[in-house]
């Protein structure tokens, strides 16, 4: 199966869905779920969150040209932002011939925190917790026999003493292998169950018992080689490299640089029903572990004008748990990617992040992003300028012809259509 389909972007949504369905074997029912024909019901929504009165459909598109660890994959992305999917697909195409994206994974360990206050002897209590580690481990693992039967469960306990304004607090870390689940509920359950024993051992008071979103023992690393993407243009290579460097040394630039990476990452996280806020929080804190907030990617110049990109971040995503199995589209999204484990899912997600970053820097360091972006954004602007559903295509056509994508220009176009219409 190849993830390359020439002219995919030129097809209608129905034709695109047919092509994808053909390639990855989607049946008619699955196609109708994706098209929104067999609607996501209010009943289903009401089972997911509270006080439901409706839902917000956000478009799902497919990024093409991705090869991840030697396997071609179509990537479902859910986003409201134009040009994200086009940019990811373009960048993936440039990495395709040199083997696509290669990844590694540190394992699926999540950390649960238990905060203990009012401890008389925090360092003595720390020693007592380590002395009783096995009892704690046994107690935690009793909470999740399913996870343990799959080879997961709590692996280790670490203790920290944190000096605060009021006292030396203890923080007990539970290191839990959550396997193919994101693991927040699994870890929180263990943290709550372990707390009475922790209070007994430390003679302190437990307050917080919750997962840490700094999942620094669940790191995905991805690498890609872009073969001479600037066709030996040394000035373009230099600009690309210098643009990437600013994001390492300047937090103002790093924030936007990493936001661009998360454009890709969060779109796939959302498509699969995973927790976008958990992944975003982890990524941004990880970007500042050195003490200064900086880029999550590194770009290097290789021989023969190759550009080598790497991205490293915590990716707490699962194939089970949360909404991943209960939302019909999320379930289909993982099926479409053919991923069997949380590690494989994280590999695809990280690859999209790296591709997204390459595309953004390349555009920013050359013609700028507005030219491509505004053309794709034109439909939103036309609607904002008052074009009716029936007028939007015509307004965009005129805007593209005149290259006029500013809001006041759109308003003029809409006004002129209305004047002519009325006349």
Map tokens 């555009």 to a residue.
Answer: 363
For residue 238 the two structure tokens come to: 């230099």
What is the Cα 237 distance to its own chain's centre? 28
- Encoded one letter per residue, x for contact with ligand NAD by CB under 6 A and - for no contact, window 264-303 reads -----------x--x-------------------------
Interaction between residue 154 and ligand NAD (CB under 6 A): no
- Encoded one letter per residue, x for contact with ligand NAD by CB under 6 A and - for no contact, window 187-216 reads -x----------------------x-x---
Least distance to ligand NAD, CB of residue 164, Å: 21
Catalytic position from the list 81, 156, 216, 227: 81
Q: Kindly tell me which of 11 and 208 has the beta carbon lying closer to ligand NAD.
A: 208
Q: Which of 33, 75, 116, 181 binds ligand NAD (CB under 6 A)?
A: 181
CA distances from 203 to 116, 127, 162 (A): 9, 13, 17
Told to judge if 81 belongs to the known catalytic residues of this protein, a careful annotator would answer yes
Interaction between residue 320 and ligand NAD (CB under 6 A): yes
Instruction: Name the residue with the smallest CB distance to ligand NAD.
Output: 321
The residue range among 75-83, 184-192, 260-268, 355-363 that interacts with ligand NAD, by the rule CB under 6 A, is 184-192
Map tokens 């290789």 to a residue.
Answer: 302
Least distance to ligand NAD, CB of residue 157, Å: 18
Residue 223's beta-bridge partner residues? 102, 310
Closest CA to 111 of 298, 288, 278: 278
CA distances from 247 to 77, 266, 286, 299 (A): 25, 20, 15, 11
Taking a C-beta distance cutoff of 8 angstroms, is the pair 309, 297 a contact? yes
For residue 158 the two structure tokens come to: 């670490």
Q: How many CA atoms lie within 13 A of 157 on its CB side?
A: 25
Told to judge if 275 belongs to the known catalytic residues of this protein, a careful annotator would answer yes
Phi-psi region of 314 (alpha: psi -120 to 50; beta: other; left: phi over 0): beta
The total of other beta-carbon atoms located within 10 Å of residue 363's CB is 20
Least distance to ligand NAD, CB of residue 280, Å: 10
Least distance to ligand NAD, CB of residue 177, Å: 9
Q: Kindly tell me which of 69 and 188 has the beta carbon lying closer to ligand NAD.
A: 188
Residues 351-410 close enough to bind ligand NAD by CB under 6 A: none
Residues within the interface to ligand NAD (CB under 6 A): 144, 146-147, 150, 152, 178-186, 188, 211, 213, 275, 278, 318, 320-323
Catalytic residue IDs: 81, 259, 275, 373
């Amino acid at each position: 199966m190849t993830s390359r389909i020439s002219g995919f972007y030129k097809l209608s949504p129905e034709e695109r869905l047919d092509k994808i369905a053909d390639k990855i074997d989607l049946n008619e029912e699955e196609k109708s779920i994706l098209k929104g024909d067999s609607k996501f019901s209010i009943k289903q929504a009401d089972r997911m969150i509270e006080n439901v009165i409706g839902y917000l459909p956000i478009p799902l598109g497919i990024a093409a040209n991705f090869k991840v660890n030697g396997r071609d994959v179509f990537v479902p992305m859910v986003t409201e932002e134009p040009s994200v999917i086009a940019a990811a697909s373009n960048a993936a195409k440039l990495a395709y011939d040199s083997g696509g994206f290669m990844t590694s994974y540190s394992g699926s360990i999540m950390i649960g925190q238990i905060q203990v206050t009012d401890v008389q002897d925090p360092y003595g209590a720390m020693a007592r917790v380590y002395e009783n580690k096995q009892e704690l481990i046994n107690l935690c693992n009793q909470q999740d026999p399913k996870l343990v039967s799959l080879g997961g469960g709590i692996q280790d306990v670490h203790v920290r003493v944190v000096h605060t304004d009021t006292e030396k607090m203890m923080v007990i870390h539970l290191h839990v292998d959550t396997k193919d689940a994101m693991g927040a509920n699994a870890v929180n359950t263990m943290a709550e169950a372990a707390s009475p024993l922790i209070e007994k051992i430390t003679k302190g008071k437990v307050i917080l018992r919750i997962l840490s979103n700094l999942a620094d023992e669940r790191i995905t690393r991805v690498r890609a080689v872009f073969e001479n993407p600037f066709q030996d243009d040394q000035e373009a290579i230099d600009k690309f490299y210098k643009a990437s460097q600013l994001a390492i040394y300047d937090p103002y630039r790093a924030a936007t640089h990493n936001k661009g990476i998360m454009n890709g990452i969060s779109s796939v996280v959302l498509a699969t029903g995973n927790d976008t806020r958990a992944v975003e929080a982890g990524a941004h804190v990880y970007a500042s572990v050195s003490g200064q907030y900086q880029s999550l990617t590194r770009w290097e110049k290789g021989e023969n004008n190759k550009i080598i990109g790497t991205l490293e971040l915590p990716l707490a995503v699962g194939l089970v748990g949360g909404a991943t199995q209960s939302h019909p589209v999320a379930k289909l999204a993982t099926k479409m990617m053919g991923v069997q484990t949380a590690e494989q899912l994280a590999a695809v997600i990280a690859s999209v992040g790296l591709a997204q970053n390459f595309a953004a820097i390349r555009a920013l360091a050359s013609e700028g992003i507005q030219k491509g972006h505004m053309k794709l954004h034109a439909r939103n602007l036309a609607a904002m300028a008052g074009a009716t559903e029936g007028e939007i295509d015509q307004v965009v056509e005129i805007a593209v012809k005149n290259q006029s994508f500013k809001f006041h220009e759109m308003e003029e176009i809409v006004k002129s259509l209305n004047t002519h219409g009325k006349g």
